[in-house]
Amino acid sequence: MQLRGFRVEPGEIESVLVSHPAVAQAVVVARSDDTDTPGVTDTTKRLVGYLVLDGAQDTDAVTAELRAFVGSRLPEYMVPSAFVVLDGLPLTVNGKVDKAALPAPVFSGGAYRAPASAEEELLAGVFAEVLGVDRVGVDDDFFALGGDSIRSIQVVTQARHVGLSVRARDVFEARTVAGLALLAGASGGAEDRVVLEELPGGGVGEVGLLPIGHWMLDREGSHGRYGQWMVLDLPAGIDHDGLVATLSAVVDRHDMWRSRLIPGHVHGNGSGEQSKLVVDEPGSIDISTLLHRVVCDGGSDEKAWGELISAELDRALNRLDPAAGTMLQFVWFTPTGTGTGTGTGTGTSTGTGADVGRLLVVAHHLVVDGVSWRILVPDFIEAWQAVEAGRAPSCPVSARRSDAGARPWPRMPGVPSASPNWTTGRRPSPPPTPPSAPGASTPRSTPLLRRTGCGCGCPPR
């Protein structure tokens, strides 16, 4: 199965679990958060381990030990977010495990202990937002509550927004608000962190395609329209220059968004050139040429909004051209009479409900996937806050090296209340796939962003 961009073999995890002397049977499944946990609202898939213990055991002690046991033998992304102990595994009439009958896990902490310091108060709020729960005690284990590697990156980003400096590694090692607060309080700020020097050439130059990229190119027909998209509500008062500066900063930060495809050709004997991407220097992309403005009524007619965005999405997908380096398109929907500066595009009398403006972000599948969208919005927020304050947005690191791997772009439930805009909006479903998209499948919502879609026809995950 595919989980958060990684290939996960449940059988491999099950083998490790049953190698523990306390475990008699184990089955691992990936399930969304249709849990019994009060306050949990997202539908992200997480690994859950169902266990039958060997004899009478202290359930809490065994599950705590198993998390460390599995983590010492497998990568972190293969460690189940929760363990459920059963008297026996449910079986079908054919004697196989009835996975549909497995109970939903309850992600919960221990006895609640309230924050006792300013750092604990801030981090408890960050934990609660990232995990999608009502509150988190200072002794509650982040991973027992359903945390994972992606959420640890979200914690790092949201902690930075509230003035605390922590690393994803700190989240894994400390695990609780109390432990992380000690590290954050002792850091003295990001300037005290060890920052790896950039590799020669940074994130610029040739990059080999991932297997999914080769799979896409090997398919029959055109691949130019294989894109994914997201719709964002924009902050009030943003103008053309501010939006261009914000988008430019984000594109400069993320190297792959400045790439172009160099098609190769491999002969039957294995000779020839493989297809690859070439990443250009920061500042090489003129965002104003990729930004198209559409003036609309700004009403509340959701049907009309759906028709408008479908038409503009179809046009935006047609403009993608990986070989020419056109990996991105931005469509800016502005209500009539807002006076938000100059831009390109056409007017329309269609209502959209976009009282402060909306932005359609379209990216080719070579440079974005489902996980990428989850780690996008705070970069827009951070860049816009700098632009709004009259500061130059800072984009110092490349995609090849940073404190936590990929530059974090967490989901909206983790965005601090001080940044109410750049949200994923109000429409409950993604825009429909344009009918002319070759080989496109029905769009799937990325679980944490209700307003994303995929027209790439990629293999099921």
Sign of CA dihedral 199, 282, 365, 326: negative
Q: Which residue has the higher pLDDT, 347 or 169?
A: 169
Put simply, whether the predicted model's pTM sits higher than 0.85 gets the answer no
Q: Which of 108-112, 342-346, 405-409 has the lowest mean pLDDT?
A: 405-409
**High-pLDDT (> 90) share of the chain, %:** 28
Predicted pLDDT of residue 338: 56
Among 73-87, 290-304, 425-439, the range with the most confident prediction by mean pLDDT is 73-87
Predicted pLDDT of residue 355: 52
Closest among 112, 111, 104 to 81, alpha carbons compared = 104
Sign of CA dihedral 285, 286, 289, 295: positive
- pLDDT tier at 298, thresholds 50, 70, 90: low
Predicted pLDDT of residue 408: 29
Beta bridge partners of 149: none
- pLDDT tier at 436, thresholds 50, 70, 90: very low
What are the start-end ranges of the H helices in 143-266? 149-161, 168-174, 177-187, 211-218, 240-253
178/152 Cα distance (integer angstroms): 15
Please tell me what DSSP assigns to residue 321.
B
- pLDDT tier at 72, thresholds 50, 70, 90: confident
pLDDT above 70 (res 97) = yes
Q: Tell me the average pLDDT across 230-234.
A: 86
Q: What is the four-CA torsion angle of 55, 57, 60, 63, rounded to 10 degrees?
A: -50
The residues, ordered by sequence, that sit 6+ positions from 142 with a Cβ below 8 Å of its Cβ are 127, 131, 151, 152, 155, 171, 175, 176
Predicted pLDDT of residue 32: 73
Is residue 413 within 8 A of residue 130, CB to CB? The reply is yes
What would the pLDDT profile of 245-296 be if each residue is shown by its tens digit? Answer: 999 999 998 899 999 999 887 666 666 788 899 999 999 999 999 999 998 8
386/391 Cα distance (integer angstroms): 5
pLDDT above 80 (res 418) = no
Predicted pLDDT of residue 51: 94
Among 38-42, 115-119, 169-173, 327-331, the range with the most confident prediction by mean pLDDT is 327-331
Predicted pLDDT of residue 193: 52
The residues, ordered by sequence, that sit 6+ positions from 156 with a Cβ below 8 Å of its Cβ are 166, 167, 168, 171, 403, 404, 408
Residue 442: how many other CB atoms lie within 10 Å: 11
Predicted pLDDT of residue 4: 62
Q: Which residue has the higher pLDDT, 120 or 384?
A: 120
DSSP 57-104: --HHHHHHHHHHHHHTTS-GGGS-SEEEE-SS--B-TTSSB-GGGSPP
**Angle 441-277-213 (CA atoms, 0-180°, nearest 5)?**
30
Cα-flanking dihedrals φ and ψ of residue 129, to 5°?
-65, -45
Cα-flanking dihedrals φ and ψ of residue 262, to 5°?
-110, 100
What are the start-end ranges of the H helices in 232-342? 240-253, 302-319
Overall residue count recorded for the chain in this entry:
461
Among 18-27, 177-186, 195-204, 427-436, the range with the most confident prediction by mean pLDDT is 18-27
251/398 Cα distance (integer angstroms): 11
Q: Tell me the average pLDDT across 134-151.
A: 83
In what helix (H) or strand (E) does residue 45 lie, and over which residues does it extend? none
Closest among 226, 284, 208 to 252, alpha carbons compared = 284
Strand-by-strand arrangement of the 291-296 sheet: 291-296, 328-335, 358-364, 227-233, 452-454
- pLDDT tier at 394, thresholds 50, 70, 90: low
